[in-house]
């Protein structure tokens, strides 16, 4: 019996991350007011779908993918909890400065994960580098009570989310067609 070819779960995780990141950063940039669609995407696509993708990366023996997708899936679930628990009467609203620390810790995690991308495709490096900048700016914006920095972070977030979607579609289309349809900067 031959080896069974497993599907690549990364595009699922990247799409869950990318689309949810774009929705949230449409708000951070000031282009749209906050909307319930962000919470729903944060739970189901940014949260659960990424966790599923991470668990499927485990099956493929990909520690980086497991760690990234399950962690960022949990990020989205915790962020939704931070936002809705006070509205449900389950907790007080998060202190904006403490929220800055939360975002800063995610930035540190993302910076370390960025170093793990250096052997991967250039687009993956870009996703993690732009995400590191996004978390840093969001943390600084919240710690400094500076909405202008949060708006700049929102624009970085739009680029980050779009780059994740591009990478996901590059992986899907390149595999589907057996050739490079969308270049992702793979090392050969």
DSSP for 107-172, please give it.
HHHHHHHHHHTTTS-HHHHHHHHHHHHHHHHHHHHHHTT-HHHHHHHHHHHHHHHHHHHHHHHHHH
Residue 1 in this model has a pLDDT that exceeds 70: no
Residue 13 in this model has a pLDDT that exceeds 90: yes
Q: What is the pTM of this model?
A: 0.95
pLDDT tier at 5 (50, 70, 90 boundaries)? confident
The mean pLDDT value for 163-183 works out to 97
The mean pLDDT value for 12-33 works out to 98
Q: Return d(Cα 187, Cα 129) in angstroms, integer.
A: 18
Q: What is the pLDDT of residue 6?
A: 87
The mean pLDDT value for 41-51 works out to 98
Q: Return d(Cα 6, Cα 153) in angstroms, integer.
A: 37
The mean pLDDT value for 22-32 works out to 98
How far from chain centre, in Å, is Cα 115?
16
Give the tens place of pLDDT for each residue, 84-134: 999 999 999 999 999 999 999 999 999 999 999 999 999 999 999 999 999
CB 142 within 8 A of CB 124: no
CB 160 within 8 A of CB 127: yes
Cβ neighbours around 179 below 10 Å, total: 8
Cβ neighbours around 109 below 10 Å, total: 18
Percentage above 90 pLDDT, the chain: 95
Cβ neighbours around 40 below 10 Å, total: 15
**Mean pLDDT over the full length of the chain:** 96
The mean pLDDT value for 160-164 works out to 98
Give the tens place of pLDDT for each residue, 123-134: 999 999 999 999
Q: What is the pLDDT of residue 3?
A: 76
Q: What is the pLDDT of residue 101?
A: 98
């Amino acid at each position: 019996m031959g080896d069974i070819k497993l599907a690549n779960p990364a595009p699922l995780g990247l799409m869950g991350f990318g689309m949810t990141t774009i929705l949230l950063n449409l708000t951070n940039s000031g282009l749209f007011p906050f909307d319930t669609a962000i919470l729903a995407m944060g739970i189901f696509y940014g949260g659960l779908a990424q966790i599923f993708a991470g668990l499927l990366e485990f099956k493929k023996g990909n520690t980086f993918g497991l760690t990234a997708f399950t962690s960022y899936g949990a990020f989205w679930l915790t962020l939704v909890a931070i936002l809705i628990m006070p509205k449900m009467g389950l907790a007080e609203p998060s202190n904006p400065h403490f929220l800055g620390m939360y975002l800063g810790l995610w930035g540190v995690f993302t910076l370390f994960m960025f170093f793990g991308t250096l052997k991967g495709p250039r687009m993956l490096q870009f996703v993690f580098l732009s995400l590191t900048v996004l978390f840093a700016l969001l943390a600084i914006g919240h710690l400094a009570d500076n909405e202008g920095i949060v708006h700049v972070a929102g624009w970085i977030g739009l680029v980050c989310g779009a780059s994740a979607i591009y990478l996901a579609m590059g992986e899907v289309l390149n595999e589907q067609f057996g050739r490079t349809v969308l270049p992702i900067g793979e090392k050969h």
